[in-house]
Amino acid sequence: MKKVNAIYWVFTGQFAAFMLAGSIPDVIMHPAAVEIVNKHLGYPTYFLPLLGVAKVLGVVAILAPGLPTLKEWAYAGLTYDLVAAMYSHISVGDPPTQWLIIFLPLLLLAGSYALHRRRLRAG
């Protein structure tokens, strides 16, 4: 079980860091984030802080001890966020070099979630 816990925290820590790093520009409405989300992808600017705060809350829920139902919702919400980001970039015609990178956090999320479920079953 120690090995599962260690691997879980490697996946979860890297995933949390990735998502937090991506949420900060959204929350503070950094001009580069506004440019991408508003002008390139076509979403309204007011969407940025909402999305950023939701990502931060999702990461907090995943890292917090206990709260199994909230963790499930957080994993689902962050999955939707990443899949929607990938779909948005594909929809506006971005080349694969722009959206394939999203597979990295999706793989980290999948590993974290699978190990989370394994930890729950173990005890």
Q: Which pLDDT score, from 0 to 100, does residue 103 have? A: 96
Q: Is the pLDDT of residue 14 over 90?
A: yes
Q: Is the pLDDT of residue 1 over 90?
A: no
Q: What distance in Å separates the CA atoms of residue 7 and residue 15, rounded to the nearest whole number?
A: 12
Residue type (1 letter), 48: L
Q: Is the pLDDT of residue 123 over 80?
A: no
Tokens of 1: 């079980």
Q: What distance in Å separates the CA atoms of residue 7 and residue 122, rounded to the nearest whole number?
A: 15
For residue range 40-92, what is the model confidence (pLDDT) as tens digits? 999 999 999 999 999 999 999 999 998 999 999 999 999 999 999 999 999 99
What b/e readout covers 31-43, taking b as 16+ CB neighbours within 10 angstroms?
eebeebbbeeeee
Q: Which helix (H) or strand (E) holds 3?
A: helix 2-27
Q: How far is CA 103 from the centre of its chain?
A: 11
